[in-house]
Structure 1
Amino acid sequence: MISKATIDTVFETARVEEVIGDFVQLKRSGSNLKGLSPFTDERTPSFMVSPVKQIWKDFSSGKGGNVVAFLMEHEHFTYPEAIKYLAKKYGIDIDETEQSDEQKELANERESMYLVSEYASKYFQEVLHETEEGKAIGLSYFKERGFTAETIKKFDLGYSPEEWEAFTSRALEEGYQLEYLEKTGLSIVKEDRKFDRFKGRVMFPIHSMSGRVLGFGGRILSNTKKAAKYLNSPESDIYHKSKVLYGIYYAKQAIAREDNCYLVEGYTDVIQLHQSGIENTVSSSGTALTSEQIRLINRLTKNITVLFDGDAAGTRASLRGIDLILEQGMNVKVCTFPEGEDPDSFARANSEEDLKEYLEENARDFISYKASLLMEEAKNDPIKKAELIRDMVNSISKIPDNIQREVYLQECSRIMDISENVLYASLAQIQKKDSKTSAKQQKPMEVVREESQPRAKVDHLYVLERNIIKILMLYGNKEEDFEDLLLKENKETGELVLEPETQHSKVFKKVFLDLQDDEIAFSNEEFKKLYNLLISKLNSKENEDFAVENIINELEPEEASRITDILMEEEQYELHSWDRHDIPVKEKDQTVSQFVSQTILNLRRHLIDCKLNDLLENIRNVETEEEKTDIKTEVMGFNKLRTLLSERLGRVM
């Protein structure tokens, strides 16, 4: 168990904008930051981070909370794992008691698979650095590839011994269960036999964006024809190769900083480029590029530069991945290396300065690159040239932005020496065909008459109680002048009238006293619990240290998420950039006293309405005229009070 002191230190130190910035490219939006949702596929930002409140909200998925909640949602961490991740990031020593065997057994399946994978990574590193076989074979291979000791350590490179059960037996001795060794693919179990999947291979751990070990890539060093040169972990609950990019953990900050991502094919390409100072590099690990992998990059930058080997045949096949990148609305450039070179070999043969210069000078826009590459194939064959033009227009049709699409068509027209009108006509045909295909794939929509749709009933009491919680969290400690209209009897006419009286008070005291005077209790149990907690905190001696983020950090993740919904309600308006359209959005903290008075008056009026409804319902059930007269008198009294409240509410608003 992690001590409370450690948890408190982590929350005091961690900054939500810094942590989330490792996973999502954030841009300033007023006092907040916004970016693309990491939980849904979107092109318009709906993800907001509040550095002031130290919370985040994803308006597309409805998720939100504090920094720990983000790691639990995004990385599927448990609460302790999220705290440990933050402690490691900020260099905080963890005060932790040893887990009991019972606690270990209670760890769920995914956690167990992560633990097994983490152990395997450490085991392979230990074998590489501390055994004769590891040093002679594995370490020698890495050094031959030109990797320094620092690079080998940085990427957690390792070696799996040339023995059938070396890793499996060791893991079982350490108390790890065979079930999870098999589910992660580290061990293969057949009847009564069990053996290591990666026997005799150098090991490349594959990390998530937060650095968790998800799986492995292993390269065999012997010249056997029976075994595959590279072998990856099989698909599992924690490893989905179509959703992972090799090196993303080490590259994410550089990608966001440089606002560009270099995309290569292999593990060693990534490692060699990182070592050469090109740290914004990732790899699809030998698999065909997928939409999920592109979206990982899209969170950090809109710009991708694809690096190709100097092999025209392989490059031609890889061009298909560019269409996927274009579909995501990203900017694509292509850079090829000289004949016979790949990113790994070229980086080894050149200095960091020469490598960076080469990448900058040879990165070409995808349309001009594709044209030059395919024109070489078409040469003077008009039929092949026509096919090439269709191929290029098909790629351009994938671009979602109209302006960008038109610019590319104009460029294509210039390069291919063909009229723009012909290209526009070809584009229209492709789009028409795509729309028909899309329409066929979609199920016919059921037409429902508008009047048949029941209107959702608004729970006014829920909204008002929610507003009181919002007021206490955002403005509880503020001091304001409140104009109260006191109910007094006119001595001459005997009528009840409202007389203004101004009082200076802290917001939380005003709310507390008003609710207490009217004997109002919360109907929603969750709000009731939060109300009592907030009043207690605001009324304590430590009131001066009252902060929203501290309250959220004390709550369970689900409760914290609901509170975030309340606190980030105003920030949703920033996503729509109303200011650009000269539509001002009035902020609540500019008129706090009005907002408080308005909420409490509305609550009082709502409760009077409920009381009136009860009385009118009761009048139908009474038997004597005397009882009816009593109820009517009471109804008249409440109606007068309601009228006065409405008048007072009108003045406040």
Structure 2
Amino acid sequence: MISKNTIDQVFETVRVEEVIGDFVQLKKAGSNFKGLSPFSDERTPSFMVSPVKQIWKDFSSGKGGNAVAFLMEHEHFTYPEAIKYLAKKYNIEIEETEQSDEQKQEADARESLYLVSEYANKYFQKILHNTNQGKSIGLSYFKERGFTDDIIKKFGLGYSLDDWQAFTDEALKDGYNIEFLEKTGLTIVKEDKRFDRFKGRVMFPIQSMSGRVLGFGGRILTNTKKAAKYLNSPESDIYHKSKVLYGIFHAKQSIAKEDNCFLVEGYTDVIQFYQTGIKNVVASSGTALTPEQIRLINRLTKNITVLFDGDSAGIRASLRGIDLILEQGMNVKVCMFPEGEDPDSFAKQNTFEELTLFLDENAQDFIQFKASLLVKDSKNDPIKKAETVRDIVNSISKIPDRIKKEIYIQECSKIMDISEEVLFSTLAQINKKEYQDANKAYKKEQQSFQVFKNEHAVKKVNIQYELERKIIEILLLYGNKTEDFEDLILKETETNELVLEPVIQQAQVFEKIYLDLQDDEMEFSNPKFKELYYTIIDTLNQNPDFALESFVNSVDQNMANEITSILMDEEKYALHNWESKNIYPKDKSKSIAQLVSETILNLRCFLIEQKVIDFQKETMESKDNKNVLQEVKDYSNLKMLLSRKLNRVL
């Protein structure tokens, strides 16, 4: 178990914008930061981070919380793992007690897969550096590739012994369950026999954006025709190859800093580039590029440079990946290496300066690259040229931005020597077909939605819920502030009329709210808000130096999520950047007393109205209505007075 002292130190040190900035590209939005949601597919930012409150909110998925909650949601960490990750990031020494066997057994299945993968990673590294076979075969191979000791350790490269059961036997001996060894794909189980999947291969651990080991890629070093040259871990609960990019953990900060990502094919391409000095590089690990992988990069930058081998046979298939990138609204450049070279070999033979210069001079806009590539094939054949033009225009049609589309059409017109009118006409035909297909899909969706709509009536706004929520928000933001409040004292005139007389009193916001609710005997109807209300009041009573970020970190996860939703709800309006449109929303902090008074008055008015409705029902059921009617009259008069105070017309 991690000590409370360590946890407190972590929360005191951590900056939520720094933690999330490792995974999402954040841009300043007033006092906050905004970015694309890492939990959904979107092109317009709906993800907000508040450095002042030290919380975040994703308005597309509804998720939110502090830095720990983000890691638990995004990286599927347990609470202790999130604390450990943050402690490591901020160089905080972790105090913890040894886990018992019982505690190890209590780890859930998903966590067991992570533990097994991490164990395997350390095992393969140990074999590489500490055994004769590992040194003579595995380490020799990496050295031949030109990898330094530092780079080998940084990327966690390893070796699996050329033995059918060496890893499995060692793992079982160390107490790891065969069930999880099989589920990660590290061990193959057939009937009552067990085999190591990566027997006799050099190992490349595949890590998540936060550095967790998800799976492995293994390369065989012998010329065996029966065995595949590269072998990847099978799909599991923690490893989905379509959602992972090799090297993203090491590249994420450089990608955000350079505002560009180099995309290559293989593991060694990434490592060689990194060693040469270009660190903003990732690989699709030999698989076709997927929308999920593109979105992973999209969180960090809008710019991708795709690098192709000089003699890549699969270059045409890879062009589909470019269309996918364009669909995501990203900017694409393409660079092809000289014939016979690939990113690995070219980076190995050149210095950082030479490699950078080559990439700068040879990176082409996707349309120039695609046109030059396809024109070579079409040559003087008009039919093939027509197909080439349609192929290029089809790629342009994928771009969401209309201005970019027009610029690319103009560029294509120059390169292919075809009038813009013809290209725009072709684009319109493609768009029309896509529109018709989309319209059909939309109508089908609407039919389903209509059924859903008929089955689920629209809910009315719950006024009391909203007002109770607003009270919680005020307490969290301004609870310990002292303000001058205008209290309304109900007095009876000589003519027996009820009037409200204003009296100025100074008080702390939480005291004012508490006393007003007590005086009127008002109770929260929502159980969550009720629990939260008393927790906040109790904290403010005991701690005059109430700090919001400390409070969020001290409550349980469910309550922390509720707090985040309340606090960040109005922050979503900052996503629209109203100031740029010369619209300046009013700052609530400059009228706290008014905000408190109006919220309490509104709640009083609502409860009075509910009381009147109850009395009206009572008059219908009672024979003696005289007393009830007098109550209705008194409450109606009181509501009239409060409404006047709120400047309402009844």
* Structure-1-length-normalised TM-score: 0.96
Q: Is the 8 A contact 1:485 1:648 kept in 2?
A: no
1:490 corresponding residue in structure 2: 493
Name the CA distance, whole Å, in 2 between partners of 1:629 and 1:320. 81
The residue that corresponds to 1:468 in the other structure is 471
Name 1:194's counterpart in structure 2.
194
Where do 1:238-637 residues align within 5 Å?
Answer: 238-311=238-311, 313-441=313-441, 443=444, 445-446=446-447, 454-491=457-494, 493-540=495-542, 542-544=543-545, 546-623=546-623, 625=624, 628-637=625-634
CA distance in 1, matches of 2:54, 2:619: 53
AA in 2 matched with 1:532: Y
Other structure's SS at 1:445 match: helix
- Partner Cα distance (2:527, 2:432) in 1: 55
Q: Name the CA distance, whole Å, in 2 between partners of 1:403 and 1:322.
A: 19
Q: Kindly report which structure 2 residues correspond to 1:42-61, keeping only aligned pairs within 5 A, or say none.
A: 42-61=42-61
Name 1:141's counterpart in structure 2: 141
* Residues 327-379 of structure 1, C-alpha deviations (whole Å, 9 max, x = no match): 11100001111111111111110111111111111111111111112222222
Question: Could you give the per-residue CA deviations for residues 77-120 of structure 1, whole angstroms, max 9, x where no partner exists?
Answer: 11111111111111111111222222222211110000000000
Change in CA separation of 1:159 and 1:451 when aligned onto 2, cut-off 3 Å:
closer
Distance 2:515 2:440 in 1: 63
| SS of equivalent to 2:334 | strand
Amino acid at match of 1:525: P
Give the direction of change, closer, same or farther, for the CA distance of 1:387–1:455 in structure 2 (3 Å limit). closer
CA–CA separation in structure 1 for the residues paired with 2:69 and 2:316 = 44
Does the CA contact (< 8 Å) of 2:203 and 2:219 recur in 1?
yes
Offset of residue 178 of structure 1: 0.2
CA-based RMSD of the aligned residues comes to 1.7
Equivalent residue letter for 1:519: E
More deviation in 251-260 or 131-140? 131-140
3-state SS of 2:217 partner: strand
CA distance in 2, matches of 1:312, 1:547: 58
Give the letter aligned to residue 641 of structure 1.
Answer: L
Structure 1 segment 98-137 matched on structure 2, within 5 A = 98-137=98-137
Q: CA deviation at 1:489?
A: 2.3
Residues 281-340 of structure 1, C-alpha deviations (whole Å, 9 max, x = no match): 000000011111000000000000001111153323322211111111100001111111
CA apart distance, 1:487: 1.4
Aligned twin of 1:153 = 153
Secondary structure of the residue that 1:313 maps to in structure 2?
coil
Q: Secondary structure of the residue that 1:410 maps to in structure 2? A: helix
**SS of 1:543's equivalent?**
coil
- For 1:511, the aligned partner's letter is I
Q: CA deviation at 1:516?
A: 1.6
Q: Give the 5 Å matches for 1:153-232.
A: 153-232=153-232
Distance 1:422 1:496 in 2: 80
Letter in 1 for 2:56: W
Query: Could you tell me the percent identity over the aligned residues?
Result: 68
Amino acid at match of 1:457: K
Deviates more, 1:134-143 or 1:551-560: 551-560
Question: Which moved further from structure 2: 251-260 or 432-441?
Answer: 432-441
Query: Deviation string for 1:622-644 (max 9, x for gaps)?
Result: 23x3xx21222222221221111
Change (3 A) 1:310 1:524: same
How far, CA to CA, are the matches of 1:287 and 1:32 in structure 2? 38
Aligned-partner Cα distance in 2 for 1:415–1:148:
45
Distance 2:425 2:525 in 1: 64
Paired letter, 1:217: G
- Asked if structure 2 preserves the Cα contact closer than 8 Å seen for 1:34 and 1:45, the reply is yes
* Structure-1 separation of matches of 2:143 and 2:533: 63
Name the CA distance, whole Å, in 2 between partners of 1:182 and 1:612.
67
| More divergent stretch after superposition (589-598 vs 21-30) | 589-598
| Higher mean displacement: 582-591 or 635-644 | 582-591
How far apart are the structure 1 equivalents of 2:143 and 2:492?
Answer: 94
Moved more, 589-598 or 493-502: 493-502
Moved more, 8-17 or 499-508: 499-508
Cα drift, residue 59 of structure 1 = 0.5
Name which of structure 1's ranges 495-504 and 197-206 shifts more when overlaid on structure 2.
495-504
Asked if 2 retains the 8 angstrom alpha-carbon contact of 1:276 and 1:351, the reply is yes
What displacement does 1:538 show?
Answer: 1.2
Q: What is the identity, as a one-letter code, of the residue corresponding to 1:233?
A: S
SS of the equivalent of 1:195 reads strand
CA distance in 1, matches of 2:313, 2:201: 29
Partner Cα separation in structure 2 for residue 379 and residue 636 of structure 1: 92
Aligned residue identity for 2:644: E
Aligned equivalents of 1:316, 1:525: Cα separation in 2:
60
Q: Which amino acid aligns with 2:181?
A: L
How far apart are the structure 2 equivalents of 1:468 and 1:88? 38
Moved over 3 A (4+): 437-442, 447-455
3-state DSSP class of the match of 2:25? coil
Q: Which whole-Å deviations, capped at 9, do the CAs of 1:401-422 have from their partners, x for residues lacking one? A: 1110110000000111110000
Q: Please, what TM-score do these two structures have when normalized by structure 2?
A: 0.97
| TM-superposition CA deviations, 1:464-520 (whole Å, max 9, x none) | 1111110000111112111122212224x3322222211122111111111122222
Q: Report the more deviating stretch, 73-82 or 187-196.
A: 73-82
Say if 1:75 and 1:210, in contact at 8 Å, map to a contact too. Answer: yes
* 8 Å contact kept, 1:573–1:585: no
CA shift for structure 1 position 448: 5.2
Offset, 1:201: 0.4
CA distance 1:616–1:651, shift in 2 (3 Å): closer
Please state whether the residue corresponding to 2:215 is helix, strand or coil: strand
How far is the alpha carbon of 1:218 from its aligned partner? 0.2
Q: CA deviation at 1:581?
A: 2.8
Instruction: After superposing the two structures, state which structure 1 stretch, 557-566 or 326-335, moved more.
Output: 557-566
Range moving further from structure 2, 614-623 or 270-279: 614-623
Q: AA paired with 2:514?
A: F
> In the TM superposition, what is the alpha-carbon distance from 1:156 to its structure 2 partner?
0.4
Q: CA deviation at 1:651?
A: 8.3
- What is the identity, as a one-letter code, of the residue corresponding to 2:463? H
Contact 1:164/1:196, CA 8 A, preserved across alignment: yes
Question: Whole-Å Cα distance in 1 between the matches of residues 433 and 606 of structure 2?
Answer: 57
Structure 1 residues 634, 562: closer, same or farther in 2, change over 3 A? same
The answer to whether the Cα contact below 8 Å between 2:532 and 2:559 also exists between their aligned partners in 1 is no
Q: Distance in 1 between matches of 2:521 and 2:317?
A: 74
Deviation of the 1:162 alpha carbon: 0.6
1:453–1:147 CA distance, 2 compared to 1 (3 A): closer
What amino acid sits opposite 2:608 in the alignment?
I
Of residues 95-104 and 413-422 in structure 1, the stretch that sits farther from structure 2 once superposed is 95-104
Q: In the alignment, residue 533 of structure 2 is paired with which amino acid? A: Y
Cα separation, 1, equivalents of 2:143 and 2:255 = 27
Could you tell me which amino acid in structure 2 is paired with residue 295 of structure 1? Answer: R
